[in-house]
Amino acid sequence: MAEILEKELSERMAWLRAELKRRSLDGFVVPRADAHLGEYVAADCERLAWLTGFSGSAGMAVVLTARAAIFVDGRYTLQVRDQVAEGLFEFRHLTEQPADEWVAAHMSAGQVLGADPWLHSERQIETLRAAVKNAGASLVLQEDNPIDAIWTGRPPPPASPVVAHPLEYAGVPAADKRTQAAAGIAKQGADAVVLSMPDSIAWLLNVRGRDVPTSPLPLSFAVLRADGSVQWFLAPAKADAALRAHIGNGVAIHDPGDLGPVLDDLGAAGKTVLTDPSGSAAWIIERLRAAGAALVSGADPCQLPKACKNPVELAGTRAAHDRDGKALVRFLAWLDREAEARAQAGNPILELEAVEKLLSFRGEAALFQGSSFDTISGAGPNGAIVHYRAGLSSNRPLGLGELYLVDSGGQYLDGTTDVTRTLAIGAPTAEMRDRFTRVLKGHIALARARFPEGTTGSQLDALARYALWQAGLDYDHGTGHGVGSYLNVHEGPQRIVKTPNATALQPGMIVSNEPGYYKTGAYGIRIENLVAVIESPAKSPDEKDMLAFETLTLAPIERRLIDTALLNPEETAWLDAYHARVRAAHSAGLDAETAAWLKGATAPLGSGGVAE
């Protein structure tokens, strides 16, 4: 890391420790979180990045008087070493070496640890409190965050206007959604729910915003009652007359500062309030409890209906994927034309140039609103950094004989896309082709799967890993995450992961299918399509109705990286059929040169096409 940055970060640590001393604290916890506890954090709440330099989407630091540690998961173990000064922070694994154990080991009796109750769930606070107690120390929740007191030049909170998400994309009127979600509250025996997740509120009210990068979220809180009415805590300046007309009766906009008093009123009225102990800030739960409300633990009632896309949303995502696929095909054709030749000519494509090129193609697509996340554009060893983000200091050329991994997506008014392709620049090695083909086998096993109602993503996860496992290989991330409809590119509650996930896959859910393989210091491979869960009716009386996946993403998979001998006939048939579908989808709407390229890139395996 640059020395000047390290010096600045060292100063920030000193300021923080001085501030802690002023507050009689012996330590403070700095999670990568805002009050919504989600993945999408506005600039004014990027306290972890400001303090440590770490820019990943998940992590936590604990700063004590004499030592500090940063905790990140497997996706970020390489990145954290690049971004964070080892002299300032110990590096720890977020789940295998959790912060509470470190706190218990390094605090002493009588010490006081501070935490911001807006940035932790109740469950996290309980874990911290138990850890601190083990050390004979205590936890004191802070009214205001000590970092905010020392952060000079802190960006203002976002204040972008909120806009209507029209019915032609949303599919279901907000009033109907409120009725549906309200029934979910009543079913759980509650009078109201506090909604903390901005995407739940955006879905519920059919609104979108621009408060955070890459996801069209208005940051807000809301209280939804069992009668379907909503109190929406939103800075009044964000809502113009058109928006107020759009949300209609039954939704009252309140100043964000009114949230506390409204929670107090719920308590005073003896109401039963539904809260998610791992999804709501401890501040909210503490306030409700203090006010005398009865609490029921349960899932946010918007999560499941939001995950199950309605027919209009599904039609929208198919249309968005069609346009997104065309942009990606143009990009892949450009890359195939240029990358090897330019590398040979000593003028290679750079990672950031590729990002810009891809964005320029997407930018020409109808309804495009921006990227759905920061593009991962990793050449050679950078591809092995799972959540790599190219920057000016790490703008690697796409070198001959290397793999290039590009994971990107678009936000369109009618859908959100997320796709990863791995390309060979020049001739790949036999090992690269073996690994790529194993990843592909996993991708195909999942894409082809039929499964009975009630099956969870956790039950299917191993299908995507089996071919890698057989060779002693694996990947240290989930196989699939939910995806929103012109909303968050990562959403729950369903996931395809190793750990138990209790949510059954249901028709209309969109998930990614993204097995990978990463060889540190050498290359990364990932093949990602989005798929929608669909019904697959029985074909005979012996059969049961099953569910299945419809692949939404429409872009060729690198044929040069496939070792066809490793594929069995069903796998080859799937790939050929997928490629035929991609070719047919883009038969119109591409220039002649790109169309010709696509024909080769999607030719059946073994039939020629591009060199294999």
Residue whose CB is less far from its own copies, 460 or 489: 460
Alpha-carbon distance 9 to 47, whole Å? 12
Q: Which is nearer to its own copies, 458 or 594 (CB)?
A: 458
Interface pick for its own copies out of 174, 259, 439, 445 (rule CB under 8 A):
445
At 481 the three-state DSSP class reads strand
- Is residue 39 exposed (0-12), middle (13-18) or buried (19+ Cβ within 10 Å)? middle
Closer residue to its own copies in complex, CB, 196/456 = 456
Q: By C-alpha distance, which of 120, 131, 100, 114 is closest to 26? A: 114
The Cα-based distances of 51 to 18, 68, 94, 427 in angstroms read 14, 11, 18, 43
Stretch that binds its own copies, among 216-224, 263-271, 472-480, 584-592 (CB under 8 A): 472-480
Instruction: Give the x-and-dash track for 129-158 against its own copies (CB under 8 A).
Output: ------------------------------
The residue (of 37 and 78) whose beta carbon lies closer to its own copies is 78
Q: Which stretch binds its own copies (CB under 8 A): 59-67, 119-127, 351-359, 563-571?
A: 563-571
Shortest separation between residue 249's beta carbon and its own copies, angstroms: 38
Question: How near is the Cβ of 525 to its own copies at its closest, in Å?
Answer: 13
**Interacting stretch for its own copies, rule CB under 8 A, among 270-278, 349-357, 462-470, 553-561?**
462-470
Q: Give backbone dihedrals phi and psi of 543, rounded to 5 degrees, phi first.
A: -80, 160
Kindly give the residue spans of alpha helices, DSSP state H, lying in 198-310. Answer: 198-205, 241-247, 259-268, 282-291, 303-307
> Sign of torsion, CA 385 71 157 240?
positive
Q: In angstroms, give the least distance from the CB of 567 to its own copies.
A: 10
Q: In terms of CB distance, is 90 or 474 closer to its own copies?
A: 474
471 binds its own copies (CB under 8 A): yes
Nearest to its own copies of 145, 494 (CB atom): 494
CB of 405 to its own copies, least distance (A): 18
Strand, coil or helix: what is 304?
A: helix
Dihedral sign of CA atoms 25, 31, 33, 35 in order = negative
Contacts with its own copies: how many residues (CB under 8 A)?
36
Q: What are phi and psi of 556, to 5 degrees?
A: -65, 150
Question: In the block, which residue shows the tokens 């038969």?
Answer: 587
Determine, following the binding rule CB under 8 A, whether residue 87 of this chain makes contact with its own copies: no
Q: Of 248, 261, 268, 469, which one interacts with its own copies (CB under 8 A)?
A: 469
Smallest gap from residue 500 Cβ to its own copies (A): 4
Answer for which of 308, 319, 350, 462 binds its own copies (CB under 8 A) is 462
* Least distance CB 537 / its own copies (angstroms): 9
Instruction: Kindly state whether residue 450 participates in binding its own copies, applying the rule CB under 8 A.
Output: yes
CB of residue 474 vs its own copies: minimum separation in angstroms? 6
Q: Which is nearer to its own copies, 371 or 458 (CB)?
A: 458
Q: Between 367 and 462, name the residue whose CB sits nearer to its own copies.
A: 462
Q: What is the CA radius of gyration of the chain?
A: 25
Q: What angle do CA 363, 369, 373 make, to 5 degrees?
A: 90
Least Cα distance to 151 among 267, 50, 265 occurs for 50
**From the CB of 214, what's the least distance to its own copies, in Å?**
32
Segment (H or E) for 550: strand 546-551
Exactly one of 318, 352, 498, 610 binds its own copies (CB under 8 A); which one? 498
Candidate ranges 288-296, 395-403, 442-450, 525-533; the one touching its own copies (CB under 8 A): 442-450
Cβ contact 199:484 at 8 Å: yes
Q: What are the distances in angstroms from CA 203 to CA 223, 287, 396, 512? A: 14, 26, 39, 20
Q: Among 15-23, 99-107, 197-205, 498-506, which window interacts with its own copies (CB under 8 A)?
A: 498-506
Distance CA 542, CA 538 (A): 8
Does 455 bind its own copies (CB under 8 A)? Our answer is yes
**Binder among 113, 234, 449, 509 for its own copies (CB under 8 A):** 449
Closer of 180 and 572 to its own copies (Cβ): 572
Instruction: Specify which residues 194 forms β-bridges with.
Output: 223
Half-sphere exposure of 413 (CA within 13 A, CB side): 11
Q: How far is the CB of 128 from its own copies (least distance, A)?
A: 21
Among 451, 523, 574, 597, which residue interacts with its own copies (rule: CB under 8 A)?
Answer: 451
CB atoms within 10 A of CB 18: 12
Interaction residues for its own copies, span 568-597 (CB under 8 A): 568-570
CB of 478 to its own copies, least distance (A): 13
CB of 447: closest distance to its own copies in angstroms? 12
- The DSSP bridge partners found for residue 549 are 533
- Cβ proximity to its own copies: between 118 and 523 the closer is 523
- 3-state SS string for 365-433: CCCEEEECCCCEEEEHHHHHCCCCCCCHHHCCECCCCEEEEEEECEEECCEECCEEEEEEECCCCHHHH
Residue 354 one-letter amino acid:
A
516-555 footprint of its own copies as x/- string (CB under 8 A): ---x----------------x-xxx-xxxxx---------
Q: Which of 21, 101, 427, 466 binds its own copies (CB under 8 A)?
A: 466
Question: Can you tell me the distance from the alpha carbon of 271 to that of 323, in angstroms, rounded to the nearest whole number?
Answer: 48
Which sign, positive or negative, has the C-alpha torsion 324, 327, 333, 336? negative
Q: Does 96 bind its own copies (CB under 8 A)?
A: no
Least separation, in Å, of the C-beta of 459 and its own copies?
5
Residues that bind its own copies (CB under 8 A): 445, 448-452, 455, 458-463, 466, 469-474, 498, 500, 502, 519, 536, 538-540, 542-546, 568-570
